[in-house]
Structure 1
Amino acid sequence: MKTFAELGLSDALVSTLSGLGYDEPTPIQAQAIPLLLAGRDVIAQAQTGTGKTAAFALPMIERVTDQPVVQALVLAPTRELAVQVAEAIHRYGRHRALRVLPIYGGQPIERQLRGLSQGVQVVVGTPGRVLDHLRRGSLRFDHLRMVVLDEADEMLDMGFAEELEAILQMAPTERQTALFSATIPPAVQHLTLRYTRQPVRVSIAAEQLTTPRIRQIYYEVLARDKLDALCRVLDVEMPRLAIVFCRTRQEVDEIGERLQGRGYAAESLHGDLSQAVRDRVMRRFREGQLDVLVATDVAARGLDIAEVSHVINYDVPTDPESYVHRIGRTGRAGRDGVAITFITPRERRMLQIIERVTRTRIERCQMPTLADVAARRRSVLFQQLQAAIAQAGLATYMKLADELAATSDMRAVAAAALKLLLNEDETEQVDTITRLEPTSPERSQRAERTSRAQRGKPDPERAERGMARLQINLGRNDQIRPADIVGAIANEAGLPGRSIGMIEVRARTSIVEVPRRDAQHVLQALNRTTLRGQRVRAILLTEAAVAA
């Protein structure tokens, strides 16, 4: 497999991709990128989940100039996909500060008019709204160099044939055209014959639609037991980052809040959230401040975070294509991934259809027991102890160990310490789903990197607009994690986790941002509660006080 540099991308773009966690191109990227860089028209048959967004976005970023005029257009079937593609192009092209504007129905047109008048280089939109702007004269194709039709078959199925024809007829003849589609039915072939010039056709074979790097399993549970099953699976798997997919927005909010209430660092993501909230949630997820993202299928389109280790289908997808969309969020950039699906007894047939269409066997597994959870905790603790022994800084504890050795057997001392750390008695007596502490060496290192990154940001003590900053008297030395703070605020103050801003856990204190209008309520709630068995003392900080 070639590297991104060998495909002809610039060093600056390759460096950006490396920073985003992209190690090697996917098959569709390896085929399409060199052709598009060379200016060829391309017809690509590729399903969502194969990396097709980057396949056309990366050459687009290389070919667009710094001139603030519309030079590239991406047409997408839905507003959700348009937003996801625009975010992806902006993220890939951040080294160039490209101006990318999504335009779609349902958003105030005045905002789009203002954005177009200020000058953009790339427009990503739905056919209806793009045609509306063209007829208004607010969108012009005078400098258009590249047109991409993303999920062309879906746009035609949704009845956009006339709009697509009208847009392509208004585009300059001397342009580059790329068409990406999961299937190539006659209607798509008609488009390619009329609006492309000597196109090169590339495709991904069916067996490559779901990567072999993804382990696919399922658990059969009753509907009423799903939440407990989800918690137990999270406790045993201990994912680096996990996405939990639900069918409805209401269910996403409910599951997200209930996970927060059980101490998980979880947030919700769906189309009803404002763009500012969605950006905040995604930033926290990318930076590792969250362990779990609960989302609708909207998030499956264009969401590309290489560190996602697990995808969990809380509900069985309604069709095989949605299943492929969802599980394609893990096992990316050459990494291994796990896809877990919960089914009820009535949903076995749907799972069989998914297996047949995707040509994949999904392995049935038994639900982990409390003994499995306890064994996992012991394994993690064993790894932590090995890592701690290998590090310096044990002198103080060696003195205490010497004192205990003078009066007790050291094996008994070690066993008692492990018992206290694991809280085994409580685990064995209570038959409930108990939250594991996400303290594996790998996760601890990631949390430390995140903390260092936060401390190194410019002006780290200034709260976001509309937010107030609170200081809590507990920190890393007290075994406090961001998840503990989110859970306390969500449970005691009733504040949704997505409303909480930056969290920084320091050695002896922690800082958290909450909406200014809720600050006093959160303060009162926190000062009535405990974290890790210790009384919380929270105060409201002014910027001057924090800086001091």
Structure 2
Amino acid sequence: MTDQSHGGLPPALASALDAKGYDTLTEVQEAMLAPELLGQDLLVSAQTGSGKTVGFGIAISSDLLAGEDTLPRAGVPLALVVAPTRELAVQVAKEFRWLFGEAGARVATCIGGMDIRSERQALDRGAHVVVGTPGRLVDHISRGAFDTSELRAVVLDEADEMLNMGFREELESILDSCPEERRTLMFSATVSPGISKLAQRYQRDAVRVTATGESRQHSDITYRALITAGHDTERAIINTLRFYEAKNAIVFCATRAAVARLTSRLANRGLSVVSMSGELSQAERTNALQAMRDGRARVCVATDVAARGIDLPGLELVIHADLPKNREGLLHRSGRTGRAGSKGTSVLIVPPRARRRIEFLFRDAKVEAEWGSPPSADEVLAKDNERLLGHWAFGDDIEVSDIARDIAALHSPEKVAEALVRMFRKDHSAPEELSEVRPDRERPEKRERAPRDEFEDSVWVTLSVGRSNRAEPRWLLPMLCKAGKLKKEAIGAIRIREDETYVQLDAEGASAFLERMAGGGSLEKGVEVQRADGPPPQEEKKPFRPKKNFDRRDDRGDKKPFKKPFKAKRHEGGEDRKPEPWSPDAGEVPDTFKRKPKAKGKPGGKPGGKPGNWKKKPQPADGKGPRKRKDKKG
């Protein structure tokens, strides 16, 4: 039986969707109701937040119910859902419980980090659907606790992420243990070559389904990119959290160490914050999410592992402390907000050098972003004042009214308002001061150096040292200031020549310097000083002189390898010539063609050298083997 009001859904699922407030189905959910997909293997591309969990629940409902309104008594599992992370597996199990609740479905979980004994007991009692992570599922299958012989459908959720996390062997082991006549449904954000190979091996004539309209999925999310100096990243995050004052916010970091550091920093600033990363146990991660749902915490600092499967109702703000690496990472992170028709904001903290890469990332993800600067301290305080003036809670509480009248009788309205402002600001951390960074990509024009007016009437002096004496400004300048008793501002240009150095001095410093040098006329280390007639002459450049045997190529650009010219050997008579080839009829062999005698001693000795220091190995006295030769060094 089917319900025509929901496009042919089974009555139990249609009733569950009505109770949950589903007026219309999403695109991927509508696609799963197509009659031509019934009983077919599917390869579905759908983004996070598109409602794909309910979508593949609808897709396998025909396999579970088999035309009935309710499910039979739970026994051997009929369907399996594999998810990459613990949070996503918990979320899928939660969705399946209300979706198939009226059909009498029993859902069991096999999730890493949970109590394996309780999971085995749940499997022994019987279940219709099993939801788990790859590693724990392989453990149960290998121990014989999970019987896969009756499975009718297997769903791989976020298949691309599972391959990226290195679960290929686990997925192959799970699929090899399932019956061949099962349905296999793969849901993935992208169809990579790894997904294609997996589909070719374990699916039969799979139908490709692409959920288009990705821009509509993120139409309720406002993207903002804030240009921030690298050393101001954490300060910009604090000001962004203070500016928006979101009910719930997630800050994504790339590593566990970054999560721990930022969590500590936010907690020290008085923010109610929890962390979630791979180093925490499953119980700690569950408690962190529950604190966010209960309102005991408002900020969650998490790694990318938390981007899969977190569903926080009313999440208003997502901050990318560490930039996403690709389009999928951006959409999965940002997809935590702006769900179920609610509005959300996704903020990227972008250093200036990464702006170009993030622009390409936005273009690849087909999203429009607003570029700007992070909220300044003044903007945060102005926003606080706006909230204070606009949010007043009035009521008819008699006890509160009596206390209010007593306060009004003791203090003036100005004093009462001042105390109210102080109490409000006491509960909020002070904003951070940020460095000013240009939000636009154009660099400021390079300013030309203004001429120094004090050197218009300058005097030039020469020093008796130059490049030949390894003269450098870094030791000439201190010497002039110390021995000549000059101020650094009185010294202008320093021009070093081969045997002398020209130094420019301002008029006032030059007169005192020359009077002081008139007696001795030299600085330390015998450096003599004389007054020059003017600035140094233009130094002539040395003409280019090619090295010996330098190969000058002609204008045709021939790149022939340089060959060393033949060096003729001097023979008898003092004549340089190339020796003629010798033949047996020529008589005596010339010295040129005679071979040098081999060195005596150790084979391989240098020709013409001393005999090699080769000795016969001494034989052992007892005949047990060769003796070890002692090193000369002892």
Structure 2 unaligned segments of length 5 or more: list them. 66-70, 434-634
1:51 CA drift (Å): 3.4
Aligned position for 2:108: 100
Note if 1:87 corresponds to 2:95: no
Query: Are the structure 2 counterparts of residues 249 and 173 from structure 1 closer, same or farther at C-alpha, using a change threshold of 3 Å?
Result: same
Say if 1:87 and 1:425 are closer, same or farther in 2 by CA, change over 3 A: closer
Q: Match of 1:43?
A: 43
Higher helix content, 1 or 2: 1
Question: Could you list the per-position Cα deviations for residues 301-323 of structure 1 after superposition, in whole angstroms to 9, with x for gaps in the alignment?
Answer: 01112310100111112222211
User: 1:39 touches 1:176 (CA, 8 Å); kept in 2?
Assistant: yes
Aligned equivalents of 2:277 and 2:31: distance in 1?
A: 33
* Greater mean alpha carbon deviation, residues 173-182 or residues 162-171: 162-171
Q: CA RMSD in A?
A: 3.9
Determine if the alignment matches structure 1 residue 122 to structure 2 residue 129.
yes
What residue is the counterpart of 1:6 in the other structure? 6
Q: Does 1:148 align with 2:130?
A: no
Question: Which residue, 308, 327, 349 being the options, matches 1:301?
Answer: 308
Q: Does the CA-based 8 Å contact 2:93-2:131 persist in structure 1?
A: no
> 1:342 maps to what in 2?
349
2:170, 2:237 → 1: CA distance?
44
Are 1:220 and 1:343, in contact at CA under 8 Å, matched by a contact in 2? yes
> Could you tell me how far apart the structure 1 residues matched to 2:60 and 2:194 are?
26
**Is residue 419 from structure 1 mapped to residue 418 from structure 2 by the alignment?**
yes
Map residues 336-485 of structure 1 onto 2, 5 A cutoff.
336-385=343-392, 387-388=393-394, 393=398, 395-396=401-402, 399-400=405-406, 403=409, 413=413, 415-423=414-422, 432-433=431-432
Structure 1 residue identity aligned to 2:421:
L
Q: Which residue of the partner structure matches residue 137 of structure 1? A: 144
In terms of mean alpha carbon deviation, does 44-53 or 263-272 score higher? Answer: 44-53
- The Cα of 1:277 is off from its aligned counterpart by 1.4
Name the counterpart of 1:283. 290
Q: Contact (CA 8 Å) 1:244, 1:294: kept in 2 or not?
A: yes
1: distance between equivalents of 2:430 and 2:135? 55
- What is aligned with 1:225? 232
Q: Distance in 1 between matches of 2:201 and 2:185?
A: 13
Q: Secondary structure at the match of 1:304?
A: coil
1:468 aligned partner? none
Kindly provide the CA deviation profile for residues 416-461 of structure 1, in whole angstroms up to 9, marking residues without a partner as x: 433322239989xx97549xxxxxxxxxxxxxxxxxxxxxxxxxxx
More relative contact order, 1 or 2 (CA 8 Å, 6+ apart): 1
Q: Shift of the alpha carbon at 1:165?
A: 5.2
- Alignment match, 1:519: none
Provide, for residues 200-230 of structure 1, a one-character-per-residue CA deviation record: whole Å limited to 9, x for no partner. Answer: 5432226438611100002222333222222
Shift of 1:297: 0.7
Alpha-carbon contact 2:229-2:351 (below 8 Å) kept: yes
Change (3 A) 1:259 1:190: closer
Instruction: Give the count of matched residue pairs.
Output: 413
Separation in 1 of the partners of 2:374 and 2:107? 48
Percent identical among aligned pairs is 35
Alignment check: 8 A CA contact 1:86 1:100 kept: no
Shift of 1:13: 3.2
Contact 2:82 2:89 in 1 (8 A): no
> Which residue does the alignment assign to 1:250?
257
| TM superposition shift of 1:276 | 1.5
Aligned residue type for 1:100: A
TM-aligned CA distance change 1:280 to 1:132, over 3 Å:
closer
SS of the residue corresponding to residue 154 of structure 2 reads strand
By how many angstroms is 1:234 displaced?
A: 1.2
The residue identity in structure 2 corresponding to 1:276 is: A
Query: Using a 3 Å threshold, how does the CA distance of structure 1 residues 158 and 275 change in structure 2: closer, same or farther?
Result: closer
User: Which residue identity does 2:418 align to in structure 1?
Assistant: K
Tell me if structure 2 keeps the 8 A contact 1:73–1:122: yes
| CA deviations over 1:383-416 (Å, ceiling 9, x no partner) | 322x42x666564267448747xx96xxxx2x44
For normalisation by structure 2, the TM-score amounts to 0.56
Query: 1:246·1:296 contact (CA, 8 Å) conserved in 2?
Result: yes
Letter in 2 for 1:85: L
- 1:287 CA displacement: 1.7
CA distance in 1, matches of 2:210, 2:256: 34
8 Å Cα contact 2:110-2:137 kept in structure 1: no
Q: Report the residue type matching 2:95 in the other structure.
A: Y
Q: 1:303 to 1:312 in 2, by over 3 A?
A: same
Query: Letter of the aligned partner of 1:27 in structure 2?
Result: E
In structure 1, runs of 5+ residues without a counterpart are 435-548
Q: Displacement, 1:290?
A: 1.3
Give the Cα separation in 1 of the matches to 2:268 and 2:177. 54
Provide the C-alpha distance between the structure 1 equivalents of 2:220 and 2:228, rounded to a whole number of angstroms. Answer: 26
Deviation readout 1:164-198 (Å, 9 max, x if unpaired): 55544542344333111223356645554665466
Indicate whether 1:266 and 2:273 are aligned: yes
Distance 1:26 1:324, change over 3 A: same
Contact map agreement 1:13 1:93 (CA 8 A) in 2: no
Change (3 A) 1:319 1:431: same
CA–CA distance in structure 2, aligned partners of residues 305 and 4 of structure 1:
32
Amino acid at match of 2:45: Q
- For residue 315 of structure 2, give the secondary structure of its aligned residue in structure 1: coil
Equivalent residues in 2 for 1:176-191, closer than 5 Å: 176-185=183-192, 188-189=195-196, 191=198
- Contact 2:120/2:145 (8 A) holds in 1: yes
* Aligned 8 A contact 1:320 1:353 in 2: no
The 1:4–1:126 alpha-carbon spacing in structure 2 relative to 1, beyond 3 Å, is farther
The whole-number CA distance in structure 2 between the counterparts of 1:53 and 1:26 is 11
> Aligned pair in 2 of structure 1 residues 5, 338: CA closer, same or farther (>3 Å)?
farther
**CA-to-partner distance for each residue in 1:73-111, whole Å, 9 max, x for gaps?**
1234x4xx2x1232012322445484422356x989777
- The residue aligned with 2:612 is none
Q: Which residue of 2 aligns with 1:240?
A: 247
SS at match of 1:423: helix
Aligned partner of 1:30 in structure 2 is 30
Higher Rg of the two aligned structures = 2
State the 1:329 CA deviation: 0.3
Alpha-carbon displacement from aligned partner over 1:139-179 (angstroms, at most 9, x marks no partner): 32232122012233455566766765554454234433311
- In the alignment, the residues of structure 2 paired with residue 298 and residue 261 of structure 1 have an alpha-carbon distance, to the nearest angstrom, of 25
Q: Letter of the 2:416 partner, please give it.
A: A
Distance 1:273 1:10, change over 3 A: same
- Residue 211 (structure 2) pairs with residue 204 (structure 1): yes
- Partner SS, residue 254 of structure 1: helix
Amino acid aligned to 2:402: T
Conserved? CA contact 1:233–1:368, under 8 Å: yes
Offset at residue 357 of structure 1 (A): 1.6
